[in-house]
């Protein structure tokens, strides 16, 4: 199974798009997204220096645009991609890339949202001097205890041996003076304490804009940063993208879901390298591909063919699917099992895993067409549970 992943802020480097824009089609598409974002992304992807790219208002739109345009180079006919991609995921702002790639929102909607996301996060970061520091190595329990002791948030939990602490400069200085045993601290070149309560003003601003964004259910499984669950409702995915600005990135749980799905190949879109490096440590046996240069496209397509396996999610216009959010055992609601039709938001049951029990709802409701699992059946992340015929559709 193939998963496509999109990196977050900090992955960018000066000139990383220089070889890509030699292709007129690539450049034209990037110029179009530049127009939507109100930024010269061609310039920023080719000639801007590291300090310029550190600016959240520039870095975030550049990352999303780069991921989307290179994905079109990888899959020139986007419809073909869904015959190969088993799941998508994005780290932090990369979730917008993943959401647009899965067709939950359009590329243009993603660019407007990321422009406003970057602007509002930069404003929030300017209120109080804050930052982020990677904590590499050390005992996980001791690392988290040290962060708690100094009032810091584990803003990114990237898997074994890599937690990113976020908070005020004073809190980060205190951590540097009193680090956890056997851990190495690496201050990150970011503008503020992202994915913490310091970003709440940005959440409020983006939530207002998101209320006017139309969505579609994703064309493939989308793995959420919040908890590693599969999200198959467009509005829920959008709400998670907004709230995630001030909530920790649980990439460790995303990796767990990839393992549960049986992923065999992970391809990272540009600027690639960060997430493939994490996957090599956390997912032994999974082949990785860091797409960095257009000269790699032929090999990348071969990689996708080798690992490609279509998601079981199917979007017929005449019915809707309810899918499992996580691996576990499905327990069907007696009321739902006896019903011929379900109202919007009706609970159909829950999925019980070793970690938690997650309620499953039919967000749109409809006439029950077919139950695809029985009570007590083991289910995989994103596995279809129930098919519904939307009310009012002839």
In whole angstroms, what is the distance from residue 302 CA to residue 2 CA?
Answer: 12
Residue carrying the six token digits 């992202």: 194
- Give the dihedral of Cα atoms 25, 31, 32, 38; nearest 10 deg: 170
Pair of tokens at residue 10: 């900090």
Distance between CA 18 and CA 312 in Å, rounded?
A: 37
Q: Which of 34, 48, 91, 92 is catalytic?
A: 92
What is the secondary structure of 115-169 as a DSSP string?
A: HHHHHHHHHHHHHS-EEEEEEEES-HHHHHHHHHHTT-EEEEE-STTEEEEEEEH
134: left (phi over 0), alpha (psi -120 to 50) or beta: beta
* 365 CB-side CA count, 13 A: 9
Rg (CA), the chain: 21
Helix 24-37 and helix 56-74: axis angle, to 10°?
140
Instruction: Give me the catalytic one of 44, 91, 150, 195.
Output: 195
Any catalytic annotation for residue 311?
A: no
Do the beta carbons of residue 145 and residue 161 sit within 8 Å?
Answer: no
**Tokens found for residue 203:** 């959440």
Q: What is the DSSP string of 303-328?
A: HHHHH----S----TT-EEEE-SSSE
Residue 264 CB coordination number (10 Å): 18
Residue for token digits 């908070």? 167
**Is 195 noted as a catalytic residue in this protein?**
yes
Q: Which residues are catalytic?
A: 92, 195
């Amino acid at each position: 199974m193939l998963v496509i992943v999109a990196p977050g802020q900090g992955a960018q480097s000066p000139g990383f798009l220089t070889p890509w824009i030699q292709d007129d089609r690539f450049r034209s598409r990037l110029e179009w997204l530049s127009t939507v974002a109100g930024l010269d992304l061609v310039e920023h992807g080719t000639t801007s220096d590291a300090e310029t790219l550190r600016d959240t208002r520039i870095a975030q739109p550049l990352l999303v645009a780069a991921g989307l345009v290179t994905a079109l180079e990888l899959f020139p006919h986007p419809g073909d991609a869904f015959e190969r991609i088993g799941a998508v995921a994005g780290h932090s702002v990369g979730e917008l890339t993943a959401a647009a790639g899965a067709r939950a929102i359009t590329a243009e909607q993603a660019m407007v949202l990321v422009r406003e996301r970057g602007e509002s996060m930069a404003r929030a970061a300017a209120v109080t001097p804050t930052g982020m520091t990677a904590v590499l190595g050390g005992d996980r329990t001791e690392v988290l205890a040290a962060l708690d002791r100094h009032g810091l948030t584990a803003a990114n939990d990237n898997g074994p041996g890599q937690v990113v602490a976020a908070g005020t400069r004073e809190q980060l200085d205190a951590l540097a003076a009193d680090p956890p045993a056997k851990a190495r601290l690496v201050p990150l070149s970011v503008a503020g304490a992202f994915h913490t309560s310091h970003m709440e003003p940005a959440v409020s601003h983006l939530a207002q804009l998101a209320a006017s964004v139309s969505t579609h259910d994703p064309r493939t499984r989308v793995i959420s940063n919040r908890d590693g669950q599969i999200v198959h409702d467009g509005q829920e995915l959008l709400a998670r993208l907004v709230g995630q600005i001030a909530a920790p990135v649980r990439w460790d749980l995303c990796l767990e879901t990839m393992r549960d799905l049986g992923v065999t190949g992970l391809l990272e879109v540009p600027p690639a390298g960060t997430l493939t490096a994490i996957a090599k440590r956390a997912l032994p046996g999974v082949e990785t591909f860091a797409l960095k240069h257009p000269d790699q496209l032929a090999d990348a397509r071969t990689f996708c063919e080798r690992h490609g396996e279509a998601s079981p999610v199917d979007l017929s216009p005449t019915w809707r699917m309810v899918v499992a959010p996580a691996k576990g055992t499905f327990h069907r609601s007696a009321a739902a099992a006896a019903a011929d039709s379900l109202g919007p938001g009706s609970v159909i049951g829950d999925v019980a895993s070793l970690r938690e029990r997650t309620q499953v709802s039919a967000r749109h409701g409809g006439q029950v067409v077919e139950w695809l699992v029985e009570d007590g059946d083991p289910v995989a992340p994103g596995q279809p549970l129930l098919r519904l015929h939307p009310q009012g559709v002839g």
